[in-house]
Amino acid sequence: MPENSDNCCPPAKNIILVGFMGSGKSTIGRELGQLLSYPLIDTDSVVEEQEQISISDIFSLKGEDYFRDCETAAVKRLLGTCLDHHIIATGGGLPLREENRKLLKKLGYVVWLDATPDSILERTSRTNNRPLLQTENPRKTIEEMLEKRHSIYKDVAHLRLQTTGLSISETAHGILESARYFFGQA
């Protein structure tokens, strides 16, 4: 159940999507938002709005550590408003910091959208807006990063869902069912 006992907000019924770049967080987030009539918040967009530049420019001009600080600040702001009944799609590296993992759990039900390297490569190769994947061998990069991040996502998530082979609707309905159960217990 949401672990927000150290702030003054009531337990929040947000659904938070975590997972690797290209795992479908934005797409599934939009679908969940429509099914539940909940607004969708994307932490990458929150950071871009705050900084008034793109994620790629933040990485190249200010560096990854600065971007991670922005992510932490963004999640803290969301928690500070006692945000409730929202879908929150997170940047793929947001759970890397232990502090962020604790904050996410306070925000609500955390779902890890897992996907195979093949489907991640297929989805992420359509655009070049992910600085960490602009390497000579994106497939190798994806495999190495996935391996490093596996335990991170496992640690933060209440639910892990393997999305490869599932339709958007199947994935969203699976999440809804288990979120209802989770919140019913909370």
Look at the block and give the residue holding tokens 């799609």: 89
* Alpha-helix residue ranges (DSSP H) falling in the chain: 25-36, 43-51, 55-62, 64-80, 98-107, 117-124, 138-156, 168-185
132 binds ligand S3P (CB under 6 A): yes
Go through 42-70 and write b for each residue having 16 or more CB atoms within 10 A of its CB, e for each that does not. Answer: bbbebbbeebeeebeebbeeeeeeebbeb
| Nearest CB to ligand S3P, comparing residues 14 and 100 | 100
Q: CB under 6 A: which stretch of 6-14, 30-38, 128-136, 169-177 binds ligand S3P?
A: 128-136
x/- contact string, 45-64, with ligand S3P (CB under 6 A)? Answer: ----------x---------
CB of 17 vs ligand S3P, minimal distance in Å = 9
> Which burial class, exposed, middle or buried, applies to 159 when counting CB atoms under 10 A from its CB (0-12, 13-18, 19+)?
middle
| Nearest CB to ligand S3P, comparing residues 26 and 178 | 26
Residue 123 sits at φ, ψ, to 5 deg, of: -75, -40
Among 15, 21, 107, 110, binds ligand S3P (CB under 6 A): 21
110 binds ligand S3P (CB under 6 A): no
Q: CB under 6 A: which stretch of 2-10, 91-99, 110-118, 163-171 binds ligand S3P?
A: 91-99
Residues in touch with ligand S3P (CB under 6 A): 21, 25, 44, 55, 91-93, 130-132
